[in-house]
């Protein structure tokens, strides 16, 4: 029953999509609390506040849904879903273990995930524009500018891996992966991860939602479940960017006893990267808007081009 099989894979993807971002969110509560020498949420659920995010979800679901009178109603209401769902599609294409342990192997998988991730930003732009709020519009424009600057180094870094592997299929890339890719592609890995962070608007690249300047950027007018969707999309984004970096640059499921424990290695690498994402949030101050733009064009793009040259030379030399 192949239809049943496909349905199961889709449902499994949805479950992963709903559970792992919450785990990352809870980890963020705790890691930030420990790094800042405080407790964090401790009461919900009894043990170290493990149910805090569930409680938050219940709270969000019960809150009144407000669409400002001046807003473009349909677009405003649609934006959170447009921002959230692309990450679900990306998860479908990410290989978890060897021998077809993947939601769905897609031939042009690398291209697919990069394209789909760009759609999430459109959701944020929709929110910024449709809110009819000055802060939202500024936030939306900053989001768009940030996407345009950081998408390019991200695509170039990903292309470097495609060159090394000679395929665009994500499982195919992992099949071709060798340990020496780790040092070989490390510049590309840095560029990809950094650009991914910027695309998620995570600190230190959180200028589009800088609370001290423009309230909460494109999300300023949102309440209740729609607001929760935006928050969930941020954590799903962390999951997706971490998982993609793990697949492309850290060898995904490769590791000791990969045949049995491949999925565990993949999870460990993904969560280690997610931890770094949280760590960076606690460590670095926000980049100013012009610094943000300069950093992409002056640092990341040349680095990515350099990585392309390096990949090309070595690949032809060993081919």
Partner 1 sequence: MEGQHAAAVAADPAVGSGYFDAYAATGLLAVVGVLFVAVAFTANRLLRPVVYSPEKLLTYECGVDPVGEDWAHTQIRYYVYAFLYVIFAVDAIYLFPWATVFAAAGYGAGTLIEMFLFIGFLAVGLLYAWKKGVLEWT
Q: Do the strands 101-102 and 95-97 form a parallel or antiparallel pair, or are they unpaired? A: antiparallel
312 contacts partner 1 (rule: CB under 8 A): yes
CB of 31 to partner 1, least distance (A): 28
Cα torsion for 58, 242, 247, 188, to the nearest 10°? 160
| C-beta closer to partner 1: residue 198 or 277 | 198
Binders of partner 1 among residues 2 to 61 (CB under 8 A) are 2-3, 5-7, 9-11, 13-14, 61
Structural tokens at position 151: 């998408």
63 binds partner 1 (CB under 8 A): yes
Site string for partner 1, 74-93 (x = CB under 8 A): -------x--xx--xx--x-
CB of 198 or CB of 278, closer to partner 1: 198
Residues 152-211 that bind partner 1 (CB under 8 A): 152, 155-156, 159, 162-163, 166-169
Closest CB 312 distance from partner 1, rounded Å: 5
| Interaction of residue 215 with partner 1, rule CB under 8 A | yes
Angle (CA) 76 123 171, round 5°: 150
- Binding partner 1 (rule: CB under 8 A), the pick from 42, 182, 267, 305 is 305
Specify the stretch interacting with partner 1 by CB under 8 A; choose among 24-32, 121-129, 131-139, 245-253: 131-139
If one asks whether residue 134 binds partner 1 (CB under 8 A), the answer comes out as yes
For 97, phi and psi rounded to 5 degrees?
Answer: -150, 175
120 near partner 1, rule: CB under 8 A: no
Indicate which single residue of 107, 178, 180, 279 sits in contact with partner 1 (rule: CB under 8 A).
Answer: 107
The half-sphere exposure of 215 on its side-chain side, counting CA atoms within 13 A, is 15
Number of H helices and number of E strands within the chain?
A: 13, 2
The gap between the terminal CA atoms of the chain, to the nearest Å, is 42
Give residues 263-292 in contact with partner 1 (rule: CB under 8 A). Answer: 289-290
| Partners of 101 in the β-ladder | 97
66 is a site residue for partner 1 (CB under 8 A) = yes
- Determine if 135 is a binding residue for partner 1 (CB under 8 A): yes
Among all chains, which residue has been given the structure tokens 């099989």? 5
Give the residue with the Cβ less far from partner 1, 10 or 261.
10
- 3-state SS class at 122: helix
Contact 135, 296 (CB under 8 A): no
Which residue stretch of 120-128, 182-190, 269-277, 295-303 sits at the interface with partner 1 (rule: CB under 8 A)? 295-303
Which residue's entry shows tokens 């969930």?
Answer: 232
d(CA 274, CA 28): 9
């Amino acid at each position: 029953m192949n239809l049943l099989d496909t349905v199961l894979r889709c449902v499994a993807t949805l479950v992963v999509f709903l559970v792992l971002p919450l785990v990352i969110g809870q980890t963020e509560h705790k890691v930030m609390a420990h790094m800042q020498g405080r407790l964090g949420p401790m009461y919900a659920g009894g043990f170290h506040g493990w149910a805090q995010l569930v409680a938050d979800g219940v709270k969000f679901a019960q809150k009144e849904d407000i669409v400002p009178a001046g807003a473009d109603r349909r677009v405003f209401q649609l934006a959170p879903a447009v921002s959230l769902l692309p990450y679900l599609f990306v998860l479908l294409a990410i290989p978890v273990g060897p021998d077809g342990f993947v939601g769905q192997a897609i031939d042009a998988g690398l291209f697919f995930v990069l394209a789909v991730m760009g759609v999430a930003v459109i959701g944020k732009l929709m929110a910024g524009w449709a809110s009819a709020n000055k802060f939202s519009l500024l936030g939306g424009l900053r989001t768009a500018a940030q996407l345009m600057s950081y998408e390019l180094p991200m695509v170039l870094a990903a292309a470097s891996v495609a060159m090394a592997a000679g395929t665009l299929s994500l499982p195919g890339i992992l099949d071709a992966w060798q340990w020496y890719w780790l040092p070989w592609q490390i510049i590309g890995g840095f560029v990809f991860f950094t650009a991914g962070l910027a695309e998620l608007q995570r600190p230190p690249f959180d200028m589009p939602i800088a609370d001290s300047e423009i309230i909460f950027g494109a999300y300023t007018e949102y309440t209740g479940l729609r607001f929760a969707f935006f928050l969930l999309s941020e954590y799903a984004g962390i999951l997706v960017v971490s998982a993609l970096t793990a697949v492309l640059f850290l060898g995904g499921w490769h590791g000791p006893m990969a045949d049995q424990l491949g999925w565990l290695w993949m999870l460990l690498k993904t969560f280690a990267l997610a931890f770094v994402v949280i760590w960076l949030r606690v460590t670095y101050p926000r980049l100013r808007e012009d610094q943000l733009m300069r950093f992409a064009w002056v640092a990341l793009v040349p680095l990515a081009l350099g990585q392309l040259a390096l990949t090309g030379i070595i690949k032809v030399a060993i081919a």
